[in-house]
Amino acid sequence: MNANEIILIFLALLSFLIFRVYSAAVSTRSGQNRQFRLIRIKKASFIIQILMGICLILGFYEFLAFLFGWPSTLPERRILVGHEHFYTTAGEIPAEVLWLWVVQKLLAFWGGIMLLRLFWLYGRGILFSAKNVTCIRFFGWWLMIDWFIEYQMRSELRDMDLSTTPLLVGLLVIFAAWIMDEGRKIQEEQELTV
């Protein structure tokens, strides 16, 4: 991560905030109705899909570039493991840590694709389906599994200053997904009731 990626992240936040302000302004003029809300959700999802897609493509290229020594788009390419272990090439990383790092990054890309799928579903107006719940639940599990992989990597490097926040956040996300799933099933059952 470097200043370019920070800029990308802040641009994403800024786009979201601008979209919110624009939508709030339009909604006070047009009145609030179901169709307009869905359009707003679809527009926000579309913007987020674009930004996430760009980040995923750039990130995946940088991952392969680091592994195979390809030219990088970044001015300075370094991998940080823990607080003190910097590596500029894949060859510098100890073998056990390298494999764990590769698994961690591949899992992160899969998580990114699942999030992209989630926002694609929102973009189609599908808000609380079983597929949405699967994506959100995967995000929660990914946070927790990523923490365990990070724990293993830090163990190999004897650098155990690790926060447990991702575990707690992962649990909360899984809980939120479960609540959505139960709420969806309750609503389906109520719709069946005559």
Partner 1 sequence: MNANEISSRTNARLDRIKKVSKWFRLFLQFGFPFMMLAAVFQGVLTGLQAKPVDLSQGIDGLFIVKAVIFILWGIFALAALLVWYWTSLKLFKFFETGVLFTTETAHCFKIIGFTFFAAILAIIGVYLFNPLPDQPWPNAGAIADISTCVYNGAFWVFLGWLFDEAHKIREEQELTV
Sign for the pseudo-dihedral over CA of 147, 152, 156, 158? positive
Q: How much of the chain is helix, strand and coil, in % rounded to 5?
A: 80, 5, 20
Q: How far is the CB of 68 from partner 1 (least distance, A)?
A: 21
Q: Does 56 participate in binding partner 1 (rule CB under 8 A)?
A: no
Q: Which of 5, 65, 107, 123 binds partner 1 (CB under 8 A)?
A: 5
3-state secondary structure of 76: coil
Q: Does 33 participate in binding partner 1 (rule CB under 8 A)?
A: yes
| Helices first, then strands: H and E counts in the chain | 5, 2
Q: Which of 49, 100, 121, 122 binds partner 1 (CB under 8 A)?
A: 122
3-state secondary structure of 77: coil
List the Cα angle 163/100/139 in 5-degree steps: 60
Binding site for partner 1 (CB under 8 A): 1-3, 5-6, 9, 12-13, 16, 20, 32-34, 37-38, 40-41, 44, 48, 78, 80, 83-84, 86, 122, 127-128, 136, 139, 164, 166, 169, 172-173, 175-176, 178-179, 182-183, 185-186, 189-190, 192-194
